[in-house]
């Protein structure tokens, strides 16, 4: 929970708006401190002809450029070209696309439309004067498997689009938001101390798995994350990509050069995949080539064999998802009592059937009610808890780090643990030193919520400019998600995650004569001892600097 909110009175009215920015569909929900037990999911969306022309729990994450700006969501005619899947390119800019604008810009444009509609919906529900006078806090969901850079890009786009309060915009990982909602709505008979659950959030672009163990039931449900979460880009949009590739290979690229033909086929598949089962009705498409026995076309109709649909389109994606679930069960120690499927893809009956067959018969496989909106509702609940823990029925005591996080420090060379080929002489200290990692968070480590983890460090600032070693105003944060044991020295599997830019000019008043010291190189330095504090949150690690016993807001973070 953010420290800034801890003193807020329970009588102070606030509104929390959650944004589930999805690959294929996006959702909005809001809640208020007067009724913290209720999440209002926005279900009326604008069409080309009306502000509220379509009823749906979510709206397509799609944009269309028109003469006077952009159409979005349900406003776009079914036959029109559109920008879609641009969310995925925030984390993979090299991915193939026909978009003419960068994903950050498309994301901001789309979110600005969501913001406008959110304001309209809130004012209709609560009145314009209430919305103007009540503080609003925002929560945005992001895939847990994303890079910190992609998460930061999303946060920046969200705030530029209008979702920015006078406090801060909160980030929550999509599987954690889904878990918060789901665990709050499980029947009491399903819950039990020491029981573990895997929550599989299967969406349009990504599938994320996260596991919790119940620590206690009263006075409120308390859980802890039991193992590292796992995820992959194997959501339902990958089914669309496989089907598109399949029909292009079967009938040729030239046949599908007509955009209208391809769009009609993909629209048919989009509806078909939701209820697919190998024993159900097969997919039939209009193929304009008369009768062609070699291709299975009869009177301009082609029907895809169900076994072919299962093996070529569904099986590879289903197997990837099952693999994530089974790996998570194994990492949890096989003590899992239930797998909870949420998200749009998570509502597939066929996915449930396959997962059920793949896991032990002692494990329940469940699709909780409202699974498609579990993420956006859970995010609203997360936002209320950030304001005041009293608004939450669920408490997460700790999360499990998915990778090592640390800094590279210059330390005195120790032949018993350091590589001698990497040492170098330091005049300032009059000894051999070496660059070695100090890992403040290690992969698999249980990290308590809002408990800063400290890394000691000493800052040397020359008393006279130009005399002595220049101060290091940049701290580089590194991560390693490949190796089980955190490496001491820099290697190919360790990546730079972020740069902490330390603005020393803001603490010039603390550089006093009593903090001066003569170093071995013959120069005088201000010696500032302190800590880098890392706080492990749901979606991002945040950093602060403490020098000489005081915490300073003198760091800006640039993610790689």
Compute the mean pLDDT over every residue in the chain, rounded to the nearest whole number: 89
13-32: average pLDDT: 96
548-560: average pLDDT: 70
Q: How many CB atoms lie within 10 A of CB 332?
A: 19
pLDDT in tens, 488-541: 999 999 999 988 887 766 666 667 666 778 887 788 877 777 788 888 889 988
Per-residue pLDDT at 514:
67
347-351: average pLDDT: 95
**Residue 222, Cβ density class (10 Å: 0-12 exposed, 13-18 middle, ≥19 buried):** middle
Per-residue pLDDT at 3:
47
Nearest partner of 25 among 60, 54, 62, 57, judged by Cα: 60
User: Cα dist. 137→11, 21, 31, 37, 383 in Å?
Assistant: 16, 16, 10, 17, 7
Residues 6 or more apart whose CB falls under 8 angstroms from that of 8 comprise: 14, 387, 388
Q: Considering only 216-220, 302-306, 422-426, which range has the smallest mean pLDDT?
A: 216-220
Q: How many CB atoms lie within 10 A of CB 98?
A: 7
Task: Identify the residue with better confidence: 509 or 338.
Answer: 338
Per-residue pLDDT at 121:
96
Task: Give the DSSP letter of residue 204.
Answer: S
Identify whether the C-beta of residue 526 lies closer than 8 Å to the C-beta of residue 516: yes
Nearest partner of 499 among 447, 544, 555, judged by Cα: 555
Q: Considering only 168-182, 262-276, 532-546, which range has the smallest mean pLDDT?
A: 532-546
**Dihedral over Cα of 203, 176, 61, 155: its sign:** negative
Sole residue written with tokens 């030239």: 254
For residue 43 the two structure tokens come to 């279900």
Per-residue pLDDT at 541:
87
d(CA 528, CA 552): 13
Per-residue pLDDT at 292:
85
pLDDT in tens, 274-315: 999 999 999 999 998 888 888 889 989 999 999 999 999 999
Identify whether the C-beta of residue 204 lies closer than 8 Å to the C-beta of residue 236: yes
pTM recorded for the entire structure: 0.88
d(CA 202, CA 22): 11
Say whether pLDDT at 191 is over 60: yes
d(CA 449, CA 178): 18
For residue 179 the two structure tokens come to 């878990």
d(CA 292, CA 300): 9
Residues 6 or more apart whose CB falls under 8 angstroms from that of 466 comprise: none
Task: Identify the residue with better confidence: 391 or 150.
Answer: 150
Q: SS3 of 71, please?
A: strand
Q: SS3 of 20, please?
A: strand
Say whether pLDDT at 455 is over 90: no
d(CA 265, CA 343): 24
Treating both helix axes as pointing N-terminal to C-terminal, what angle do 148-160 and 103-126 enclose, rounded to 10 degrees? 50
In DSSP terms, 202 is beta-bridged to 207
Delineate the domains of the chain, giving CATH numbers in brackets.
Answer: 3-174+377-395 (3.30.420.40), 186-368 (3.30.420.40), 404-559 (no CATH)
Strand ranges of the sheet holding 474-480, from the earlier edge strand across to the other edge? 424-426, 431-441, 404-412, 474-480, 495-502, 555-559
């Amino acid at each position: 929970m953010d420290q800034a909110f801890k003193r807020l009175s329970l009588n102070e009215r606030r509104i929390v708006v959650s944004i589930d920015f999805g690959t294929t569909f996006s959702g909005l929900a809001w809640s208020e401190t007067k009724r913290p037990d209720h999440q209002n999911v926005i279900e009326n969306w604008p069409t080309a002809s009306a502000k509220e022309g379509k009823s749906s729990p979510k709206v397509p994450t799609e944009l269309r450029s028109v003469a006077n700006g952009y159409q979005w969501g349900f406003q776009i005619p079914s036959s029109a070209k559109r920008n879609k899947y641009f969310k995925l390119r925030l984390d993979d800019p090299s991915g193939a696309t026909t978009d003419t604008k960068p994903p950050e810009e498309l994301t901001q444009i789309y979110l600005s439309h969501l913001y406008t509609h959110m304001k309209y919906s809130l004012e209709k529900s609560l009145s314009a004067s209430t919305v103007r006078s009540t503080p609003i806090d925002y929560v945005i969901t992001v895939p847990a498997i994303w890079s910190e850079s992609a998460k930061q890009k999303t946060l920046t786009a969200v705030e530029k689009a209008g979702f920015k309060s006078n406090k801060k915009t909160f980030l929550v990982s999509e599987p954690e938001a889904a878990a918060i909602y789901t665990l709050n709505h499980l029947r009491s008979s399903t819950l039990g101390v020491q029981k573990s659950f895997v929550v599989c959030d299967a969406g349009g672009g990504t599938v994320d798995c996260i596991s919790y163990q119940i620590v206690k039931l009263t006075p409120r449900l308390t859980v802890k994350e039991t193992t590292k979460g796992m995820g992959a880009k194997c959501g339902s949009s990958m089914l669309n990509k496989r089907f598109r590739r399949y029909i292009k290979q079967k009938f040729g690229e030239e046949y599908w050069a007509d955009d209208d033909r391809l769009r009609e086929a993909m629209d048919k598949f989009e509806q078909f995949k939701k209820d697919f089962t190998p024993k159900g009705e097969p997919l039939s498409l209009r193929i304009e080539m008369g009768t062609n026995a070699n291709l299975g076309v009869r009177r301009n109709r082609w029907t895809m064999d169900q076994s072919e649909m299962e093996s070529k389109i569904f099986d590879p994606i289903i197997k990837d998802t099952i693999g994530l679930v089974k790996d998570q069960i194994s990492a949890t120690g096989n003590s899992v009592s239930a797998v909870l499927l949420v998200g749009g893809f998570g509502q597939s009956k066929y996915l449930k059937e396959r997962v059920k067959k793949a896991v032990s018969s002692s494990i329940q496989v469940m699709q909780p009610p409202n699974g498609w909106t579990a993420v956006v509702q859970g995010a609203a609940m997360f936002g209320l808890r950030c304001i005041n823990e009293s608004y939450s029925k669920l408490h997460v005591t700790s999360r499990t780090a998915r990778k090592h996080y640390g800094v590279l420090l210059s330390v005195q060379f120790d032949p018993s643990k350091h590589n001698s080929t990497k040492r170098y002489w330091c005049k300032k200290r009059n000894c051999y030193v070496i660059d070695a990692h100090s890992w403040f968070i290690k992969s698999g480590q249980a990290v308590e919520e809002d408990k800063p983890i400290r890394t000691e460090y000493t800052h040397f600032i020359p008393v006279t400019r130009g005399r002595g070693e220049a101060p290091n105003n940049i701290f580089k944060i590194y991560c390693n998600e490949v190796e089980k044991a955190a490496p001491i020295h820099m290697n190919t599997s360790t990546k730079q995650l972020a740069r902490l830019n330390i603005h020393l000019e803001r603490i010039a008043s603390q550089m006093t004569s009593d903090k001066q010291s003569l170093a071995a190189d013959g120069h005088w330095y201000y010696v500032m001892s302190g800590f880098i504090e890392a706080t492990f949150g749901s979606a991002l690690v945040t950093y602060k600097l403490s020098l000489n016993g005081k915490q300073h807001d003198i760091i800006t973070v640039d993610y790689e």
